[in-house]
Amino acid sequence: MDSNSEIKVVVASDVHDRDSIGVEIYLNDELTLEIFRDDTKKSREVSLYKKYVPLSVVEESIAIFKREIPWAFIENDEPSQR
């Protein structure tokens, strides 16, 4: 990662638009990308909020996601109360 950049990680969950948990990555206090595990769709997704994101930040973000977020999807037979 660029030594001039400050990375901040927020573990976040979402049960409104999607049933998921993941990490939001802030670079210099700006939301740069997020990686989420969506239990409803049984998928893992990356969203970029900046046009250019250093590869080192993407690689570190993936490592953080794998370390902080359980890999297995959560089975929920009942619809969530939204």
For 25-52, the pLDDT digits (tens) are 999 999 999 999 999 899 999 999 999 9
Mean pLDDT of the chain: 87
pLDDT band of 20, cuts 50, 70, 90: confident
Residue 13 tokens read as 């969950």
Q: Which residue has the tokens 């989420």?
A: 36
CB–CB of 53/11 below 8 Å?
no
**DSSP code, position 24:** E
- Between the CA of residue 77 and those of 39, 49, 52, 72, 74, what are the distances in Å? 11, 33, 39, 16, 10
Structure tokens of 14? 């979402």
